[in-house]
A and B are shown apart, each in its own frame.
Chain A
Amino acid sequence: MPLLEINSLTVDYRTSRGAIRAVENVSFALKKGETLGLVGESGSGKSTLGLSIIRLVSYPGVIVKGHVKIDGKDIVRLPEHELRSVRGGKVAYIFQDPMTSLNPVKKISAHFVELIRTHEPNVNREEALERAKTVLKDLGIRPERINDYPHQFSGGMRQRIMIGLAIALNPGVVIADEPTTALDVIVQEKILDLLESLRNAYGMALILISHDLSIILERCDRVIVMYAGHMLEHASSTELHKNPMHPYTQGLLQSIPNVELADQKLAAIPGSPPNMLNPPRGCRFWPRCSYAKKICRTKEPPLIDIGHNHLVRCFKYHKSWSKVE
């Protein structure tokens, strides 16, 4: 049984100007010890998807359809008080901005003690502190710094502490939402290395959310490409790199500079991401797609498997493509 199973998850934001479908019919499963990457531009729904997994999308965001099963239990239908043991305990979330995610008037120790004792009331303060110190050691932070306040740490160190808080209860799944976007490259590399080694040491599954396809391809086993709330492609990272199928994925790969290539010519994707209040009919990507035919503008393409567990949402790979106008 997979650790996490998501089935046709659909999330709306009910705004005064109409409902915005931020995530539509997303399904995937996650195994123990696996790293899954969610990649997309702003507004693609990747963060909403991440937050819905622990039902943290706040109003006007509403999960309108689908299931999120963790250890076989459906989170979408769980009463609020039972959710508390899932959040942090079974699935932990690391937010983008380490500067605002910690309480500035509380010591690091207080953050850990509160977290551990909320979930495990039988643990006393001393035991909680001991456990917190062990975690800090794993993060490469001197345990005596547990008595410092957040402002005494640099951005990279704060993100380490956020990661420490996420793994302190040994959750099965950790969701890291742009964990290194606010950090410099050298620190970014260290944080991603740390996540990878913790994943191996603690045997958890990791969902990495990023707009940076380079990071995703480098660090993840499998990748989901999101665009305007839709899953456009889903494949192993090696397969996606060698054999990108969706015109959007192909465009993304051509639009990012790769320092390893000499004389690279970047090619941008024409147009810009759609306004989600009024998304295009049919395939969400057709207005920017150079292959688009009439069918793409009227019908929504289904997600099909083209072999090797490579899923793609594009009519181009349907048998009838050469025949349609």
Chain B
Amino acid sequence: MSDASNTTKAGQKLSETVKVEHLKKYFPVQKSFLEQLFGRKMSYVKAVDDITFSVKRGEIFTLAGESGCGKTTTGRLIIRLLEPTAGAIYFNGVDTTKLKGEKLRLLRRKMQIIFQDPYASLSPRMKIVDAVGHPLEIHGLTTGKEKKKMVSEVLNKVGLTPPEQFINLYPHQLSGGQRQRVALARSIILNPEFIVADEPVSMIDVSLRATLIDLMLNLRKDLGLTYLFITHDLAVAKYISDRIAIMYLGKIVEMSSKESIFLNPMHPYTQALLSAIPIPNPERKRKRIELIGEVPSAINIPTGCRFHPRCPYKKDECSRKAPPITEVEKEHFVACHLIKS
């Protein structure tokens, strides 16, 4: 799959839908008047700080980590809802960070996003037919009867059947699970290749989550979709993903197939994260890995390895030098001084 001839001009493999290189996003922190007066240096929240990964065609690639690790920012950068500070984002071989105007607009048909909160992501004043059909109008593809027909088709695909029953409803007449299906329908109506799903099931009732996850898996098969899945819930990540990247304070600390992340976690942070997942079995006692303190602020990032103040295995080196992310085993990347290939 990875022979050099199958690459585009930009060096992206044809088997990859999205490739992210040295991506950075720094948000400036508002200075107070006094600070401006005394010319204090601008400070930044380094939400995403130099990450590189690629999403293969047809796979579900998951970014997992705690709140503030930069996973949502990464998702928004990829579909160009945010401007990156530095780095490149390739989509089918084209660096999207350089696109503007009409070209960017055409690109947006190919990549869509589903947000976490189905109560906030649908306009309360728009009927389902208009909300789901809105992308068609924005892109000037179709309106009226034709739009209604296409909306009915996608509603069928997401299991809101019969569509005539839903098409003229408003969001408040639907349950959370149904709303998330509407959001999913809206995201696939333009026949995209790539979908960023940002915590799509975390606000849905437990008994309904499984149907939504299975729906997403079926749509991947039927429509040939590629997903970037963003979640803090590692149990869900294990169920849905092909590959997983664990993020901590704006960096990827470990990245591999789901199997090797769960069977052979190498980074101490990954190990701690996995050991904290509750298991629905009262007789099973987990082996805990205790971490010191809490995640530091993304404004004052620790020197060297960002994880060292909390790491139970830290050495002198860890506070001085940031560990590069290296391929320790085949397709298994880790950023830790303690782990050598």
Please list the residues of chain A having a beta carbon within 8 angstroms of any beta carbon in chain B.
41-42, 154, 156-157, 184-189, 211-215, 217-218, 220, 237-238, 241, 251-260, 264, 266-269, 272-273
Contacts and interface: CB of A to CB of B under 8 A. Distances in A.
B177 interface: yes
Contacts of A215: 278
14 contacts: A185-B273, A186-B273, A186-B276, A188-B276, A211-B206, A215-B278, A218-B279, A241-B280, A251-B207, A252-B206, A255-B209, A255-B210, A256-B206, A259-B279
B127 interface: no
Interface stretch (B50-58, B75-83, B185-193, B231-239): B231-239
Contact of B210 (A154, A237, A268): A268
B338 interface: no
Per CB-CB distance, the 9 closest pairs between chain A and chain B, nearest first, are A268-B210, A266-B210, A184-B66, A268-B211, A214-B278, A257-B235, A269-B207, A237-B282, A214-B280
Contacts of A272: 175, 177-178, 205, 207-208
Contacts of A42: 176, 205
B262 interface: yes
Interface stretch (B8-16, B142-150, B283-291, B298-306): B283-291
B213 interface: yes
A241 B206 CA distance: 17
A41 B279 contact: no
A42 B177 CA distance: 12
Given A156-B294, A257-B236, A258-B281, 12 more contacts: A186-B273, A214-B235, A214-B277, A214-B280, A215-B278, A254-B210, A255-B207, A257-B238, A257-B239, A266-B239, A268-B209, A272-B207
A188 B175 CA distance: 28
Contacts of A213: 206, 280
A256 B210 CA distance: 7
Given A185-B276, A186-B276, A189-B288, A217 B282 contact: yes
Contact of A268 (B207, B272, B281, B291): B207
Nearest to B175: A272
B164 interface: no
Interface residues of B, number: 38
A264 B294 CA distance: 32
B277 A253 contact: no
B7 interface: no
B264 interface: no
Interface centre among A212, A214, A259, A273 (most CB of B within 10 A): A259
Contacts of B207: 41, 251-252, 255, 268-269, 272-273
Contacts of B284: 218, 260
B75 to A, nearest CB: 18
A156 B293 CA distance: 10
A256 B208 contact: no
B235 A241 contact: no
A238 B282 contact: yes
Given A237-B282, A238-B282, A259 B210 contact: no
B208 A212 contact: no
A264 B262 CA distance: 14
A212 B288 CA distance: 20
B274 interface: yes
B237 to A, nearest CB: 9
